[in-house]
Amino acid sequence: MIERAEGIYIWDASGRRYLDASSGPMAVNIGYSNPRVLGAMREQMARTTFAYRLHFESEASERLAAELAALMPAGLDRVFFVSGGSEAVESCLKLARQYVLAIGQGGRTKIISRFPSYHGCTLGALALSGYTPLTAPFEPMMRSMPKVPAPTAYRDRDNLSAEERGLRYADMLAEELERQGPETVLAFIMEPVGGASTGALVAPDSYYPRVREICDRHGVLLIYDEVMSGAGRTGRFLAAEHWGITPDLVALSKGFASGYSPLGAAVAPGWMVEPVLDAGGFQHGFTYAGNPLACAAGRAVLAEIVERDLMGNAARMGEVLRARLHELMELFPFVGDVRGLGLLLAIELVADRDTWEPLPPAMNAYERVTDLAYERGLIVYPRRTRGGFSGDHIMVCPPLIVTDAQINEIMEPLTDSLHAFAREHDLHGA
């Protein structure tokens, strides 16, 4: 039972303190109880907590849209506010569909995504997600959408260079487009840096421009799901910036409001929005979309990210934390990989580093290590790596305000938890 939270710490009702090294679900980018955000919310609450979007504009939502657009790649300046990541993804899909209808390409209905991946829990976003335990119960209710393998190049054992592997994974999209008939495909959606479903997967650099090129060649829209990777977490405002890519649509949430209020956004360029408006408007919307209280919180969160250079801190502290996580590979033979960008980082646990054989699924290593950490007052975030049924990884993603000293506070209980886990299963090796 939570009592209160401040900075990167949470206290439970019994007074125990936890260090939140996963920022909740990789969401609380600026830390808890930020005075500036709370102040901005109080000020907005004193004016109004609600304005229905079709009756009134609000200063909070208008200004947040402009401030967000200023942080996006050039051209991505039309913002549709929502209340979370799944809603942001759904909004991107539906805007993309209305755009192709408006330009006379109504035959485009399929959205290609990757396996594993996660795009949300609503049926549209879930149909694009590749994490079997979450999708299986609903399979008969969803339209089946084509999947291509996520670029897990780190596991490949071949003679290709990283660059060649990146191109090979991107070309799997081209092959899938040919199989589907490119004129039937509306969009390709990807997490530029993977989230919980892959454990912060980063593709080889060559993957990103080639995917952009393939989408352009076939008139397929490129959607970046930056719900987790956006809002500064990887050291840039969008992860897309690491490769200089301008996607056609971007979904944002999580760190964008940092847990202060339910808020997300679908961001699109004018060339996509204008034909939809001319054709009668976006046939989509949520009661709470553009909520002034959420937008006031979002404005203060963005101001904190920019003015305190939290993106710079994410890049710097990300390097420090990544180096420390790498040291775990020397201590524990079952720590197979450390990956990610900025403060979107994960460690993968394996039975054999050479063959990438996973630990026995029944061992539930991902959950066990997380429980051991929790007992030690440290919160990390566990998931399966291979689409939900096997493979173990743990996300280590503290808020972007984390300091050098706090990285020590993370590493100590984490290392201790891995020792405890190794003792339970006799995994210390030589």
227 binds ligand PLP (CB under 6 A): yes
120 binds ligand PLP (CB under 6 A): yes
d(CA 101, CA 99): 5
90 binds ligand PLP (CB under 6 A): no
84 binds ligand PLP (CB under 6 A): yes
Closest residue to ligand PLP, Cβ-based? Answer: 85
Q: Shortest approach of ligand PLP to residue 192 CB, angstroms? A: 10
Q: Which stretch binds ligand PLP (CB under 6 A): 83-91, 291-299, 356-364, 402-410?
A: 83-91
Q: Shortest approach of ligand PLP to residue 86 CB, angstroms? A: 3
Q: What secondary structure does DSSP assign to 281-346, as a single string?
A: ------TTTT-HHHHHHHHHHHHHHHHTTHHHHHHHHHHHHHHHHHHHHHH-TTEEEEEEETTEEE
263 binds ligand PLP (CB under 6 A): no
Q: Shortest approach of ligand PLP to residue 120 CB, angstroms? A: 4
d(CA 315, CA 326): 16
d(CA 337, CA 200): 11
- The smaller minimum CB distance to ligand PLP, of residues 45 and 121, is found at 121
Region for 238 from its dihedrals, namely left if φ exceeds 0, alpha if ψ lies in -120 to 50, beta otherwise:
beta
Q: Which stretch binds ligand PLP (CB under 6 A): 36-44, 82-90, 361-369, 398-406?
A: 82-90
d(CA 213, CA 174): 10
238 binds ligand PLP (CB under 6 A): no
Residue 155 CB contacts under 8 Å (≥ 6 apart), including other chains: 356
Residue type, 82: V
124 binds ligand PLP (CB under 6 A): no
Applying CB under 6 A, which of residues 19, 96, 177, 228 lies at the interface with ligand PLP?
228
Q: Shortest approach of ligand PLP to residue 194 CB, angstroms? A: 8
Burial class (CB in 10 A: 0-12, 13-18, 19+), 268: buried
Applying CB under 6 A, which of residues 7, 24, 73, 85 lies at the interface with ligand PLP?
85
Residues 8-27, interacting with ligand PLP (CB under 6 A) = 25
d(CA 105, CA 124): 20
**CA nearest neighbour of 309 among 235, 234, 240, 258:** 235
What does the block give as tokens for 145?
């959408």
Helix ranges, 103-247 (H): 123-126, 132-135, 162-180, 207-218
Q: Shortest approach of ligand PLP to residue 267 CB, angstroms? A: 14
| Cis upstream peptide for 209 (omega within 30°) | no
Q: Which stretch binds ligand PLP (CB under 6 A): 40-48, 66-74, 80-88, 205-213?
A: 80-88
Residues 160-199, interacting with ligand PLP (CB under 6 A) = 191, 195
Applying CB under 6 A, which of residues 90, 176, 225, 304 lies at the interface with ligand PLP?
225
**CA nearest neighbour of 246 among 227, 214, 275, 268:** 268
- The smaller minimum CB distance to ligand PLP, of residues 108 and 114, is found at 114
Q: What angle do CA 312, 313, 317 make, to 5 degrees?
A: 125
The answer to whether the CB of 31 falls within 8 A of the CB of 401 is yes
108 binds ligand PLP (CB under 6 A): no
86 binds ligand PLP (CB under 6 A): yes
Applying CB under 6 A, which of residues 118, 169, 207, 356 lies at the interface with ligand PLP?
118
391 binds ligand PLP (CB under 6 A): no
**Interaction site with ligand PLP (CB under 6 A):** 25, 84-86, 89, 118-121, 191, 195, 225, 227-228, 253
